[in-house]
Structure formats: C-alpha cells, structure tokens
Chains A and B, each alone.
Chain A
Amino acid sequence: MADLAKADIKSLGRAVGLELEEPLLTEVTYNLNALRELLDEVNPSALDQVEPLPIIPPHERSPHAER
C-alpha cells in the first residue's frame, strides 16, 4: 500500500473542516500512514465473517465467555 502524501492528508482534513499546517501536517502524515500500514498487514481469514461490533453481541455471551 502506497503512503498517502501530505496533499492527501490536507484534503482529508479539509473534508472534516480542519486546515492542517506544518509542522503538524508532516507528523499526522507519518502517524496515519503508520496506522494504515499496521492494519493493512493484518488479514485473518475470518475477517469477512464478522460484524464490526464494538461491544459484545448476545450470541457471543455463552457460558464460556461469562461467569
């Protein structure tokens, strides 16, 4: 995955009403590219079989998960 350029980061900022300027722009670029890279490296086979639920859905609350 290619890194985002600073111009890309600036555009993402504008999309949410934030004007990113130096020196923050460079560091936010490092930070977001690092996070993109780290998450891009993780691709377990079951990823498409789960829903993105932040808290525990009822069907997962089996007696084994809970005491």
Chain B
Amino acid sequence: MQNADLPFLSATALGELIRKKEISPVEATAAFLERIDAIDGTLHSYITVCREEAMRAAHEAEQAIAHGEWRGPLHGVPYAVKDQFWTKGIRTTGGSRLLADFIPSDDATVVTRLQAAGAILLGKLNMSEFATGNSVHHPFGTPRNPWDLERNAGTSSSGSGAATAACLCATSLGEDTGGSIRNPANNCGLVGLRPTWGLVSRYGMMAACWSMDIGGPISRTVEDCAVTLQAIAGYDPHDSYTENRPVPNFRAALIQDVRGIRIGVVKEAVDAEFVHPQVKAAVAQAVADLQWQGASVDEISIPLMTSAAAVTRAILAVESASLHHNWLKTRLHEYDHNVQIDFLTGAIMPAQLYYKAQKLRALTRQQVFAALQQVDVLALPSSSEPAPLLPQGTGLKSKDEARQRMSGRRSLTGVFNLANVPALSVPCGFVSVGGKELPIGLQLAGRLFDDGLLLRVAHAYEQATSWHTRRPPIS
C-alpha cells in the first residue's frame, strides 16, 4: 500500500495496521498532512493544522508501540476536533474572530482522553460561529462539502463533516446542540453520534446551551464511531453532569444481529411535507432492510416533534445570549450578522416565552420517553434533504423567513436534544441533484445510555449496504 492511500482507510483498519507495525504512526500522520496540504485550500475544513505537534506525537506513538506499549485501537491514529474544544497551547477560536487569538491553558477532557488513547491530533476544524448553526460568514474560510463544493457541509460541525468525508483525518469530534453532529453526517455521508447527555464530558468545550450541548464522534464507519466514543466517554469530575457509571464496550456491541429489536418509525417525520420524497423513500427502505434482518417495525407518534425546532431555538437563543451578554454590548459587530440577530433575540426574549419553551421541552421529553417504552429504537430521516447550497446572503427579509428557519428539518434532530437521549445518523442512500450525487442519512434514537444499541443497529444496517464505501469526488 502506498502511503498516499493510508488516509482512505477506516480509523480501525489503520489502527490495526499500526498495531501490527505494518504502518508507522509517522507515515500515517505525514500522509494525512500531505492530503490536507493538497486539498484543504479548497475545502477550508481546518482552521488550524497542528503540523509540528502532530509529527512529534506520531514519533512518540511510534516509539511506544515499538516498545510494546500499544494503548488501543486509536494509538497512532490521526484525528481532528471541532474548534469548539479547548486544546492546551493551541489556538481555539469557536469559529469566531472574537476568539481569533485565544489560546487555552488546558485541554478539553475529550482531547485529554483521545491523547491518552494514543490518537494523534492533526488540528482544529472549522465550524459555524460559536456553534449556533446560522452563521454565514466564516472568518477562517467557508467550509465546503466535498460531495459538491457549492453545498453546505452541515452545521455547525461543518469542518468535522468535510474533513472526515474528504479523508483529511481518520475520525473526528463534533458537538451537537440541536443537530450539529447529525446534520454534517447527513450532508457528508458519515456516521455521527450525539451521545446521551451525561455520557461525555463538556469540560473545555465552549458552551452554546448548557443543557443540550454534547460532543461526539463523526466518522466514516460505525465501528470508527464506536471506537472514538469509547475513548471519550465516561465520568469526569470536571463536569458534574457526567454520570458515574461503567462505560460499556461499544465495539463489542457491534454483533450484526438485530433480531428482536423493536424499531418505531416516527409518524410525524414520515408525514412531514418538508421532507424530500426521496429521503422518505430511502428511510423507508432502510427500515425495511432492518426488518428483513429480523427487527420488528411499528409506527410511533411523537406529536410535539413538529415544534421541536422552535423550542430548541428559543432555549438556545436565550442561553447563548446570556453567555455572550458582555460582548453583545461591547463587540456586537464582530459577530456574524445572523449570529447578531439570534443572540439579540435571545437577549430580549420575554421570560414567559422562555418559560413556555422549557415546559414544552419537558413535555416533548415525556413523549420521547413514552415512545421508547413501546419500542427500543426510533427511526426517522436525519434531515429533510441532502446538503443545501451554501447560503448566498445574510439577514432576514421577513417574519415568514424567520419562521422557516425555526421549523422544518431542525425539528427532526432537535427533538432528541430536548430529550437528552442519544441519536445517530448513518448513511442510507444518495439523491441526485443537479447531476451530483448527494448523501442522505437514517437517524436512529434510543433510550438514555443505550448508545451501544444505536451503534449495533446502525452497524447491522451499514454492513448490509454499501453507502459507507462511497467516497466524494475530490482527489
């Protein structure tokens, strides 16, 4: 195998070659850095590439493995993280010019854990400003979708989607407040898992909305996703909301057997007019494939799903604005225009409106839990459509346009952020748009701390299909 081919391997396949000493972490890291140099001038998936730090870590990994100190499946494997996660001594911008020179004095816990697992940090990935999802102007370059450079890679973990799909890292981390892991996974043909809230530490992760934020893996295969989650999951005394419970073996859960698992297809998502017909058809086929493998399938209702986008937006707007209140007074015009609108809206929102949104959240959560009493896993589209074109302008022209932004596809993901349950997107097909083949995703959601079951079902589906083997037309 040529070194230039190494980035195309899955993270677990690469890790296995490194374990067997057939490939050196130095060769692997150099191959990814060369590919970043060759392609990322177009994609803008990275904000910062940690060239020297990565090569130093790769040499250390090479030495450790040579001395029999293999740490696990990610030892020597190059990864990258959304620029929302602190990295000690390395610039961390949150995708904002306001933090263009911010250098944290500590690592996020997830970064510490990936380093402990021996993974090699390649760099910091581009994102929507402060993970809000609506920003248009990216001060460090507009991240582009490798399947079609004129299209959105997904918000807000745009760089995580673009870099992972283009094989500019072996696996990556994103962060998901309202769908920011699953949307890039959908748009870029990847596997993205928003873990159960409380499974992964938020320490060192810039906050957008404290009660919905969580970091998670964006990977090219379900197995890579499982291995990445394994490295970052578990109790952290720095985050008092992480649960002190044993972390299951997520990779061992991938047993390719879904017999007896009850899948509920979410009626409101299937009926939604805003979901593209080809997306509906692909999700229906995916569910039928799982049924053929032995799962049972029923229709299930979550009536408040349709309002989840507005509820999520109300809570996110208020909580984000409270985090940025001082800068809204002194540095307002340094934010992206759309972020200014969102944060100002949150800053002035009447308390009763926020209070109602929180009550609707509690009711939505009850409906999700009730649905998960009847079935083990919920199935629905990850998004209403394949990747849309990159936005051409900023600003709101009318109230109706504002309504559209706060409804539709964001309800499909936001409903599970409101409930704090795990949710995953796995590729389930392609839609042809303007002569380009664009990926779409099947979303699976499950009970609290049942992340392993989602990975198991997704793996069984993935292994019976070939969607995950396709690569974007970028060389």
Contacts and interface: CB of A to CB of B under 8 A. Distances in A.
30 contacts: A12-B350, A13-B347, A15-B348, A18-B328, A20-B344, A20-B348, A24-B340, A27-B395, A34-B405, A35-B345, A35-B406, A38-B310, A38-B403, A39-B310, A39-B314, A47-B363, A50-B359, A50-B366, A51-B359, A52-B355, A52-B356, A54-B211, A54-B361, A55-B197, A55-B241, A56-B420, A60-B366, A67-B448, A67-B449, A67-B453
Interface of B: 197, 211, 241, 303-304, 307, 310-311, 313-315, 317, 325, 328-329, 340-342, 344-345, 347-350, 353, 355-363, 365-366, 369, 372-373, 395-396, 398-403, 405-407, 420, 446-450, 453
Range class of the A interface residue count: 35 or more
Given A13-B347, A39-B360, A55 B449 contact: no
A52 B340 contact: no
A53 B403 CA distance: 25
B358 A44 contact: no
A41 B446 CA distance: 28
A2 interface: no
B399 A33 contact: yes
A46 B363 contact: yes
Contacts of A52: 355-356, 358-359, 361-362
Interface string A1-28: 0010000010011011110100110011
Interface of A: 3, 9, 12-13, 15-18, 20, 23-24, 27-28, 30-39, 41-42, 44, 46-47, 50-56, 60-62, 64-67
A30 B402 CA distance: 6
Contact of B403 (A16, A28, A37, A54): A37
Given A23-B395, A52-B361, A28 B345 contact: yes
Given A12-B350, A32-B348, A35-B314, A66 B211 contact: no
Per DSSP, are chain B's interface residues mostly helix, strand or loop, or mixed? helix
A27 B362 CA distance: 30
Among B304, B398, B399, find the residue whose CB has the most chain A CB atoms closer than 10 A: B399
Given A38-B407, A39-B353, A64-B373, A12 B358 contact: no
Given A39-B307, A39-B314, A46-B363, 13 more contacts: A24-B344, A31-B402, A33-B402, A34-B399, A38-B403, A38-B406, A39-B310, A47-B356, A47-B363, A51-B359, A52-B358, A52-B359, A56-B365
Contacts of A65: 369, 372, 447-448
A9 B341 CA distance: 12
Given A65-B372, A66-B447, A27 B341 contact: yes
Nearest to B344: A28
A64 B329 CA distance: 46
A38 B307 contact: yes
Given A18-B344, A52-B355, A55-B197, A35 B349 contact: yes
B303 to A, nearest CB: 7
Contacts of B345: 28, 31-32, 35
Contacts of A12: 348, 350
B340 A17 contact: no
A54 B358 contact: yes
A46 B396 CA distance: 34
